[in-house]
Structure 1
Amino acid sequence: MNAFPSAPSTGSLFRRRPLLALGAVAAAAVLITGVFVVANGRNLERIGYFADWNVANRDFTVKELDDSGAPEHLTRLMWAFGDVSPEGLCHVPGNHDQPWELYQRRYDAGESLDGRADDYEQELAGSLHQLRLLRQKHPHLGASLSLGGWNWSTHFSTAARTEESREAFVSSCLDLWLRGDLPVFEDEPQGGDGVAAGIFDGIDLDWEWPGGGGHPDNVEHPDDAAGFALLVAEFRRQLDELSRETGADYTLSVSLPGGTAASGAYDDAVFDHVDFATVQGYDFAGPWNEETAYHSNLYTPGFDPDADSVDRAVRSYLDMGAPPEKLVMGVPAFGRGWQGVAPADAGRGQAADGPADDAYDGPTMAFSELREREGRRFLDEEAGAYWVYDGDEWWTYDNPEVIRLKGEYVLEQGLGGLMVWNLDMDPEGELVRAMDDSLKS
Structure 2
Amino acid sequence: MRARPFRNRIAAICAATVLAAPLMAAPLPAAAAEATAAEATAAGLTVTYVESARWNTGYTGEIVVHNASDAPVDDWRIEFSLPEGSRIHELWNATLAGDPSGYTVTPPRWGATVPAGGTYTFGFNGVHRDGATEPLACTVNGASCSGGGTGPGHDHISVAYYTQWGAAERDYHVADLVETGSAEKLTHIQYAFGNVGADGECFMTDEEGQGDALADYGHTVPAGESVDGVADGAGQELRGNFNQLRKLKELYPDLTVSISLGGWEWSRYFSDAALTEESRERLVESCVDLYLRGDLPELNGAGGEGAAQGVFDGIDLDWEWPGTDGNPHNVVRPEDRENFTALVQEFRDQLDAYGDETDRHYELTAFMPAGGWRLDTGYELDEVMPNFDFITVQGYDYHGTWESVTNHQSNLVTDARDPEPVISAELIRDAYVSRGVDPAKLVLGIPFYGQGWTGVEPGPEGDGLFQAAAGPAQGTYSTGTEEWRFLKEKVASGEFQVFRNDEAGTAWIYDGETLWNYDDEAAVAQKTTWALDNGYSGIMIWSIDGDDADGSLMGSIDRALRADRP
Q: Distance in 2 between matches of 1:403 and 1:101?
A: 30
Q: CA deviation at 1:64?
A: 2.2
By how many angstroms is 1:299 displaced? 0.7
- Give the fraction of aligned pairs with identical amino acids, expressed as a percent: 43
Question: 1:79, CA displacement in angstroms?
Answer: 0.1
1:309 to 424, 429, 437: 424
For each residue in 1:153-172, what CA deviation from the matched residue of structure 2 results, as whole angstroms up to 9, or x when unmatched? 01011111011111111111
1:121 matches 2:241: no
Q: What does 1:252-267 correspond to in 2, within 5 Å?
A: 252-265=364-377, 266-267=379-380
Structure 1 residues 394 and 62 mapped into 2: Cα distance closer, same or farther (>3 Å)? Answer: same
The residue aligned with 1:435 is 557
- Confirm or deny that 1:192 pairs with 2:309: no
Cα 1:382–1:352, aligned 2, differ >3 Å: closer, same or farther? same
Rate the CA distance shift 1:245–1:327 in 2: closer, same or farther, 3 A: same
Where does residue 133 of structure 1 map in the other structure?
247
Distance (whole Å) between structure 2 residues aligned to residue 362 and residue 203 of structure 1: 31
For 1:396 and 1:310, locate their aligned partners in 2 and report how far apart those are by CA, in whole Å.
Answer: 16
Q: Assess if the C-alpha contact under 8 Å between 1:178 and 1:199 holds in 2.
A: yes
Alignment of 1:2-81 (within 5 A): 35-38=152-155, 44-81=156-193
Residue 249 (str. 1) matches residue 361 (str. 2): yes
Match of 1:348 among 465, 480, 493: 465
Task: Tell me, in whole angstroms, the C-alpha distance in 2 between the residues paired with 1:340 and 1:94.
Answer: 40
Bigger fraction of residues in strand: 2
CA contact (8 A) 2:151 2:254 kept: no
Partner of 2:434: 319
Q: Secondary structure at the match of 1:173?
A: helix
Q: How far does the alpha carbon of each residue in 1:168-214 deviate from its partner, in whole angstroms, 9 at most, with x for none?
A: 111110000011000012xx431111110010001000001113121
Give, as a single letter, the amino acid of the residue that structure 1 aligns with 2:273: A
Question: Which residue is 1:357 aligned to?
Answer: 474
Query: SS state of the match for residue 36, structure 1?
Result: coil
1:295 maps onto 2:412 in alignment? no
Uncovered stretches (5+) of structure 1, i.e. residues with no partner: 1-31, 39-43
What residue is the counterpart of 1:144 in the other structure? 258
**Secondary structure of 1:335 counterpart:** strand
Superposed structure 1 runs of 4+ greater than 6 Å apart: none
Q: Is the 8 A contact 1:263 1:313 kept in 2?
A: no
TM-score (norm 1): 0.88
AA paired with 1:337?
Answer: G
1:216 shift after superposition = 0.6
1:369 aligned residue: 486
| TM value normalised by structure 2 | 0.69
Q: Are the equivalent residues in 1 in contact too, given 2:227–2:247 (CA < 8 A)?
A: yes
Q: Cα offset for 1:402? A: 1.6
Structure 2 distance, partners of 1:93, 1:157, is: 21
Q: How many angstroms apart in 1 are the aligned matches of 2:206 and 2:151?
A: 44
The aligned amino acid for 2:237 is E
Matching residue of 1:382? 503
Structure 2 SS opposite 1:264: helix
Greater Cα radius of gyration, structure 1 or 2? 2
Larger relative contact order, structure 1 or 2 (CA cutoff 8 Å, min sep 6)? 1
Deviations 1:258-316 (A, max 9, x none): 23332322211111100000001000111122111000111111112533111111111
C-alpha separation between the residues in 2 aligned to 1:166 and 1:411? 36
What secondary structure is seen at the aligned counterpart in 1 of 2:257?
Answer: strand
* Partners of 2:151 and 2:185 within 8 A in 1: no
Alpha-carbon separation, structure 1, partners of 2:191 and 2:277: 27
Q: For 2:428, what is the secondary structure of its paired residue?
A: helix
Task: Give unpaired runs (5+ residues) of structure 2.
Answer: 1-148
Q: Distance in 2 between matches of 1:416 and 1:315?
A: 15
**Partner of 2:541 in structure 1?**
420
1:240 counterpart residue number:
352
Say if 2:454 and 2:471, in contact at 8 Å, map to a contact too.
yes
1:120, distance to aligned residue in structure 2 (A): 1.5
- How far, CA to CA, are the matches of 1:62 and 1:222 in structure 2? 40
Aligned residue for 1:350, secondary structure, equals coil
What's the counterpart of residue 109 of structure 1?
223
**Aligned pair count?**
403
2:150/2:253 contact within 8 Å kept: no
Contact kept, 8 Å, 1:284 with 1:307, in 2: the verdict is no
Name the stretch that deviates more: 215-224 or 96-105. Answer: 96-105
SS in 1 for 2:289: helix
2:61 aligns with: none
What CA RMSD, in Å, does the superposition of the two structures yield over aligned residues? 1.5
Counterpart CA distance in 1 for 2:476 and 2:451 is 10
